[in-house]
C-alpha cells in the first residue's frame, strides 16, 4: 500500500448492504464497509490484524458478510449478517470463546451461539446479545474464566450492550440500564457497589437509548438527547468541569441534541444531530483535537469533524465516520492506529489511507444489492488505483458495466470539488479517445454554472462496452487542488445524477503525508448540500 493515499469510501460489494462502521481498539482500529468486509490497522501483536504484526494503512482481514464490529484492547468480535459471532486476537482469558487460552490471528466462528443481534468487547471479556433479549458472555466474567459462552443471569428483554475495561452495561427495551462488574471507581453507578457481581438496575436514570463504557467510566444517552455520566473522573472524562468521580449518573449540563456517544480509556465523545463532534477528558495525544487543552473536564468542539455520522474512541485515539464515507482519525499513532500511512500523532483529523476500493457508484446503499434485476443494476466501480508521487501521481478507474445496458444510455461525469466550494469540471475535446487509450492531453477547467459537462456521453447502450478505464489525474496541479474531492458519477443528465446521488468520491488530493493544509476543510459532495 502507498502510505500517502487516502481512504475515501470503503468497498461496496454487498449481498446485503450494511451501514459502514468503525470501532477503535486499544492501539488498533477496525472498519466495516457496506459489503460487510472488515479492515484492520495498527498494532497486531496479539493477532488483531489477522496475522500481520503491524500496519499503518487498512488491511483486509478476508472476513465478509459482517454486520457489526466490537474492538477490545487486544481482541476483536464481529457479528455476521446471519447472526453468528466471529472472534480473533488475544485470548489469555478465553475471550475468543473457542475453549482455549491461546491467541489466534484468524477469525473463527464462536460455536454454540446463534441468532445474535449485537456484540461488545472489554479488556478480557466478550458479550453477545441474542435476538430473544438474552445476554451471553465469555472470557473473564467477573466471577472466573469461561472459555465458552455462558448466559448472563438476570437479564431479559435486552436491546443493547456496552463494555468498559472490567465492567459491563445492558439496556432493556423499556430504557432501564443494568450494570455489573468492577465498581472500584463508581463505574457501575450503584449506591451499593458490593452488588456488582450480578447485573443491577441503575436508579435515578431516565429512559436511555444508547450506552458506552470507558476504562473506568460509563456514559448513557437519554431519550431526550442528553448525556449522563458516572465513574472515574481523574482526567475529566465525565465532562462535569471538575476531576471528582461520580458514583451515580449525573446529567451533563449544556450539551443537548446528542445522537451518539463513545468512550475511550479516559476520553469521551458525543455526536450532535447537526453532525458536529464534542469531546472531553484526556487530550495528551490530541484525541480531542488541537483546540482542546491537555486535560478538558468540559465538552470541547472538535474542529474539522463536520458531517460525522459515527464516532469511536480507543485507548488514546478517536475515529470519525463521515456522511460521505470518509474515515478520519486523530490522536496517538504510535502503532499506526490512525491508518494514515505514518506513525505521527495527529491533533487534527487525518484521512485514513487506502490505495484501492471497489463497489457500486451509487451512494444509496439500497442500490448496492445484487438482488436487483440486471436491468436495474447501476454501473459497477470495479477498481480504483492510485500510484506515483506528487505531480506524477495518477489515478485510474475501471468500470464494469451491467450485463443489460440502459436503452437510453447514460453520461459519465468526472470532476472535483475544492475545499473552498468551487466546482472544477474535467473537459477535453479528445476525452472519449483518452478514456479508451489513456493517452493524450486533457485539462481541468472551472465550472461556471449551468449543466455539468459529461466526461463521456451515451455509454451503456450496448453490450460491447463491457469495461471502461478512465485516467483521472493526468496534468492535474495537485498543489492547487490539495484537499479536493475527486468524484465519478453517472446519469441520463447531471440533474438525475445529483438528485439520485449517483456518484462516489474516489480520491482526496493530499500531500505525501496524507495531510490537507491548515485552514482547508473537506467539502461536501454536490448531492450533500
Task: Give every CB contact of residue 482 below 8 A, 6+ residues apart in sequence.
Answer: 419, 509, 510, 511, 516, 517, 520
pLDDT of 492 above 50: yes
pLDDT of 115 above 80: yes
- 363-420: pLDDT as tens digits: 333 333 333 444 555 555 555 555 555 455 666 666 665 554 556 667 777 777 766 5
| pLDDT score, position 129 | 98
pLDDT of 60 above 50: yes
| pLDDT score, position 198 | 92
Could you identify the residue written with the cell 430473544?
A: 132
| pLDDT score, position 359 | 39
More confident residue, 403 or 49: 49
Q: Which of 27-36, 274-283, 319-328 has the highest mean pLDDT?
A: 274-283
More confident residue, 409 or 67: 67
More confident residue, 134 or 9: 134
| pLDDT score, position 246 | 96
More confident residue, 230 or 35: 230
13 pLDDT tier (thresholds 50, 70, 90): very low
CA distance 5 to 114: 39
What's the whole-number mean pLDDT along residues 514-524? Answer: 54
pLDDT of 107 above 60: yes
| pLDDT score, position 224 | 92
What's the whole-number mean pLDDT along residues 97-122? Answer: 97
Least confident interval from 83-97, 215-229, 442-456: 442-456
Task: Give every CB contact of residue 469 below 8 A, 6+ residues apart in sequence.
Answer: 396, 397, 398, 399, 435, 436, 438
Q: If you ran DSSP here, which 8-state letter would residue 299 be given?
A: E
Pairing assessment for the beta strands 327-331 and 346-351 based on DSSP bridges: antiparallel
Q: If you ran DSSP here, which 8-state letter would residue 340 be given?
A: S
More confident residue, 424 or 289: 289
Strand partners, 318: 313, 330
pLDDT of 169 above 50: yes
pLDDT of 319 above 90: yes
CA distance 61 to 352: 17
| pLDDT score, position 358 | 39
Task: Give every CB contact of residue 100 below 8 A, 6+ residues apart in sequence.
Answer: 91, 94, 147
CA distance 122 to 236: 21
pLDDT of 114 above 90: yes
| pLDDT score, position 2 | 19
What's the whole-number mean pLDDT along residues 29-55? Answer: 91
CB 11 within 8 Å of CB 354: no
What's the whole-number mean pLDDT along residues 61-69? Answer: 93
437 three-state secondary structure: helix
Percent of the chain predicted with pLDDT > 70? 68
- 140-150: pLDDT as tens digits: 998 889 999 99
CA distance 521 to 337: 22
More confident residue, 313 or 52: 313
Span between the terminal Cα atoms of the chain, in Å:
33
- 235-269: pLDDT as tens digits: 999 999 999 999 999 999 989 999 999 999 999 99
Give kind and range of the element (H or E) at residue 301.
strand 295-301
Task: Give every CB contact of residue 392 below 8 A, 6+ residues apart in sequence.
Answer: none
| pLDDT score, position 469 | 67
CB 56 within 8 Å of CB 62: no
CB 238 within 8 Å of CB 230: yes
497 three-state secondary structure: helix
All 3 cell numbers of residue 240?
462535569
CA distance 41 to 34: 18
| pLDDT score, position 448 | 63
All 3 cell numbers of residue 282?
484526556
Residue spans of alpha helices (H) in 129-180? none
| pLDDT score, position 433 | 25
423 pLDDT tier (thresholds 50, 70, 90): very low
More confident residue, 274 or 163: 163
Percent of the chain predicted with pLDDT > 90? 50
Name the average pLDDT for the chain. Answer: 79
Q: Which of 328-342, 349-363, 405-419 has the highest mean pLDDT?
A: 328-342
| pLDDT score, position 165 | 96
CA distance 146 to 169: 19
pLDDT of 344 above 70: yes
434 three-state secondary structure: helix
Question: Which of 54, 68, 69, 39 is CA-nearest to residue 352?
Answer: 39
All 3 cell numbers of residue 58?
487498512
- 183-234: pLDDT as tens digits: 999 999 997 777 778 999 998 888 999 999 999 999 999 999 999 999 999 9
Strand partners, 327: 321
Torsion angle in degrees (nearest 10) through CA of 367, 372, 376, 378: 40
CA distance 123 to 106: 19
Could you identify the residue written with the cell 470463546?
A: 97
9 pLDDT tier (thresholds 50, 70, 90): very low
Q: What angle do CA 145, 148, 150 make, to 5 degrees?
A: 85
Amino acid at each position: 500500500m502507498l502510505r500517502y493515499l487516502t481512504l475515501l469510501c470503503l468497498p461496496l460489494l454487498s449481498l446485503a448492504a450494511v451501514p459502514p462502521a468503525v470501532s477503535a481498539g486499544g492501539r488498533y482500529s477496525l472498519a466495516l464497509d457496506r459489503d460487510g468486509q472488515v479492515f484492520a490497522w495498527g498494532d497486531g501483536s496479539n493477532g488483531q490484524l489477522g496475522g500481520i504484526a503491524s500496519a499503518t494503512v487498512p488491511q483486509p482481514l478476508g472476513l465478509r458478510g459482517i454486520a457489526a464490529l466490537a474492538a477490545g484492547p487486544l481482541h476483536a468480535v464481529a457479528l455476521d449478517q446471519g447472526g453468528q459471532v466471529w472472534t480473533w486476537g488475544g485470548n489469555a482469558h478465553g475471550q475468543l470463546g473457542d475453549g482455549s487460552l491461546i491467541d489466534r490471528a484468524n477469525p473463527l466462528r464462536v460455536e454454540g451461539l446463534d441468532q445474535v443481534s449485537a456484540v461488545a468487547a472489554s479488556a478480557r471479556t466478550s458479550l453477545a446479545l441474542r435476538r430473544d433479549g438474552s445476554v451471553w458472555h465469555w472470557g473473564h466474567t467477573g466471577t472466573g474464566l469461561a472459555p465458552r459462552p455462558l448466559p448472563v443471569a438476570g437479564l431479559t428483554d435486552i436491546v443493547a450492550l456496552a463494555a468498559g475495561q472490567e465492567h459491563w452495561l445492558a439496556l432493556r427495551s423499556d430504557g432501564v440500564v443494568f450494570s455489573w462488574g468492577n465498581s472500584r471507581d463508581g463505574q457501575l453507578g450503584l449506591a451499593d457497589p458490593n452488588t456488582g457481581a450480578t447485573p443491577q438496575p441503575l436508579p435515578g436514570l431516565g429512559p436511555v437509548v444508547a450506552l458506552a463504557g470507558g476504562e473506568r467510566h460509563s456514559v448513557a444517552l437519554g431519550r431526550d438527547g442528553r448525556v449522563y455520566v458516572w465513574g472515574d473522573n481523574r482526567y475529566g472524562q465525565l465532562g462535569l468541569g471538575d476531576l471528582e468521580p461520580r458514583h451515580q449518573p449525573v446529567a451533563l449540563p449544556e450539551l443537548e441534541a446528542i445522537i451518539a456517544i463513545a468512550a475511550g480509556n479516559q476520553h469521551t465523545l458525543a455526536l450532535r444531530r447537526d453532525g458536529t463532534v464534542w469531546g472531553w477528558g484526556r487530550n495528551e495525544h490530541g484525541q480531542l483535537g488541537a483546540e482542546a487543552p491537555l486535560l478538558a473536564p468540559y465538552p470541547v468542539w472538535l474542529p474539522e469533524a463536520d458531517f460525522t455520522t459515527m464516532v469511536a474512541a480507543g485507548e488514546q485515539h478517536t475515529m470519525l465516520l463521515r456522511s460521505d464515507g470518509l474515515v478520519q482519525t486523530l490522536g496517538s499513532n504510535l502503532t499506526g492506529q490512525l491508518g494514515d500511512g505514518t506513525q505521527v500523532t495527529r491533533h487534527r483529523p487525518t484521512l485514513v489511507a487506502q490505495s484501492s476500493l471497489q463497489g457500486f457508484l451509487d451512494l444509496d446503499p439500497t442500490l448496492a444489492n445484487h438482488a436487483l434485476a440486471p436491468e436495474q443494476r447501476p454501473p459497477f466501480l470495479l477498481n480504483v488505483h492510485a500510484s506515483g508521487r506528487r505531480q506524477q501521481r495518477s489515478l485510474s478507474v475501471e468500470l464494469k458495466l451491467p450485463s443489460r445496458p440502459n436503452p437510453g444510455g447514460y453520461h459519465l461525469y468526472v470532476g472535483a470539488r475544492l475545499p473552498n466550494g468551487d466546482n472544477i469540471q474535467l473537459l477535453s475535446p479528445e476525452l472519449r479517445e483518452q478514456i479508451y487509450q489513456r493517452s493524450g492531453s486533457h485539462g481541468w477547467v472551472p465550472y461556471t454554472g449551468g449543466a455539468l459537462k459529461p466526461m463521456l456521453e451515451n455509454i451503456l447502450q450496448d453490450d460491447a462496452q463491457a469495461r471502461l478505464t478512465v485516467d483521472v489525474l493526468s496534468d492535474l496541479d495537485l498543489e492547487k487542488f490539495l484537499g479536493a474531492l475527486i468524484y465519478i458519477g453517472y446519469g441520463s443528465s447531471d440533474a438525475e445524477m445529483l438528485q439520485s446521488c449517483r456518484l462516489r468520491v474516489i480520491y482526496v488530493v493530499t500531500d505525501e503525508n496524507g495531510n490537507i493544509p491548515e485552514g482547508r476543510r473537506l467539502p461536501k459532495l454536490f448531492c450533500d448540500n
